[in-house]
Amino acid sequence: MRDRWPIIVAVISAILLIALAALWEYFRVEDVTVTGNTRYTDEEIEDMAMTGILGHNSLYLYLKYRNKFITDIPFIERMDVAIDSPTAVTINVYEKAVAGYVKYLGRYMYFDRDGIVVEASMEMIPGIPYVTGLYFDECVLYEPLPVQNEDIFATILALTQLFDKYEMRPDRIYFDDSMNVTLYFKDARAVLGSMENIDEKMMKLKSVINSITGLSGELHLENYSVDKDEGYVTFEKDE
């Protein structure tokens, strides 16, 4: 019997290797669908997720990203992988909700809707507003921006939602000490004032933005509402 053990072990090992090879081929990914990504292309997400010798095995990917938060990919909070078939998977991407960024010590510090700094980068990401007028002594990753008025983050979120609604991308948002808002479009500034009637102000800005493109000056909308006449909208050119 002892003489047979090497043979038995060899047979079992061979069976296991054949089974593993069969599983490898059976679950080998050929089709990938990526959802939820806006900061990275589908190809970039695939390259990030499908790494290592088992990176193209659908069962392995499902287990690897099950309930896993991402800590080493900027702007991505977590990913999960759904098996559509043994050879097809869907990578679901859940991005960090970035509301804006500030500059600090030569870096772009991106924060979420609660004012938590979620990413520090040397690169500026298009489509995320640059926010100025905030005063803070330090800026620490994964901690709140230490501003005096935390309500400002809800205001920033409301503005970014309106930017999406009216398809506008200002270069910069500026807040003064009273939280009055000015939007910068290169050398043209749209002075919105308070958040009162902000939807109406943004709708009006959308209708006139093309007429001030390339100009240098201030568009005053702080007193505008749909109930008031056009005299409440003026543009003052810089001298």
- What are the sequence ranges of the domains in the chain? 28-95, 98-237
pLDDT tens-digit readout, 51-107: 988 888 888 899 899 878 887 787 888 999 999 998 999 999 998 878 889 999 989
52-56 long-range contacts, CB within 8 A, separation 24+: 56/28, 56/29
Beta strand pairing status for 88-95 and 98-104?
unpaired
At 33-56, the pLDDT tens digits run 999 988 889 999 999 999 988 888
Per-residue pLDDT tens digits for 193-216 = 999 889 999 999 999 888 888 889
For the domain bounded by 28-95, which CATH number is listed? 3.10.20
Query: Do the first three CATH levels of 28-95 and 98-237 match, i.e. the same topology?
Result: no
Tell me if 118 sits within 8 A of 142, measured CB to CB: yes
Domain boundaries 98-237, CATH class: alpha beta
